[in-house]
Structure formats: C-alpha cells, structure tokens
Amino acid sequence: MKNITHSLVAALLLAPMTVAHAAAAPPASNETKEHKDARMAWWREAKFGMFIHWGLYSVPGGYYQNKKIGGFGEWIMHNAKIPTADYAAFAPQFNPVKFNADEWVKIVKDAGMKYIVITAKHHEGFAMFHTKVDEYI
C-alpha cells in the first residue's frame, strides 16, 4: 500500500507545479500585504487544482459494524467511536491495487489543473508513507 504514494509523488513531480516563495514566507503575524501577494502569486495564476484527501477511512467506506455512519468519511473513526485497535485493523486492507498515479495526473492535466495537493498524513495518524512515527503497518 505505502508504495502507491511513491508512485503518486513521482508522477506529481512531473506535473507543472510551482510553489514559489512559499518556503521563504515569514511567520503570518509578521507578513506584509506585499509579501503575501508575492508569495501567493503562483496560486492566483494557477487558479485551478486538486486536493486529494484519501486514506484509511476509505476501507470501511462509511460503514462500521454494518451500520451507515453519518458525516464526512474521514471522520468515521471519531463519529462511530471506533476503538484505535479496531481502526488499525483496516490498515492491511488499504491496498489500492488499481491505483494508477499516471492516470490521475493525466486526468488532472487534461482538466486544466495546475497543481495537486495530497494529504500525506491524516488526523487519526495514518500516513500514506512509512515513518518512524507511523503506527499503522
């Protein structure tokens, strides 16, 4: 499963994305209007992009213990009060074998989008890549 992120990252690096000035930004409290305008120029020019929020919560698909759980899918652990150990049991099932990063990037480009942002680690702790602090294997 975790290798899908490497494929997506590799494909995204080939997409035309520019994040000029973002790393050099001073803390927001000290940022001038001029600096913010310069930092955000790339965003204003790009105008259209995709945010991908995809993760472990897609395994239960909105259901827990055969019950439909209301709210946003990524909050299923919280909304259904799923114990951490039960939620962690979904991790081995998150194996999107039909995922194709090149196809996703092509769709994004064909639609005229200029950037992609993927949620790499979610609020419940599941990361789309292995780290020393990733509790999900």
Domain ranges, ordered by start, for the chain: 1-53+100-120
13: enclosing H helix or E strand: helix 3-14
DSSP one-letter code for 129: S
Tokens coding 29: 């409290």
Q: How far is CA 16 from CA 19, 42, 54, 108, 123, in A?
A: 10, 12, 22, 11, 28
Provide the pLDDT for residue 68: 96
Confidence of residue 43 (pLDDT cuts 50, 70, 90): confident
The answer to whether the predicted template modeling score (pTM) of the entire model surpasses 0.85 is: no
Provide the pLDDT for residue 137: 61
Provide the pLDDT for residue 17: 40
Residues 6 or more apart from 82 whose CB is under 8 A from it? 64, 76
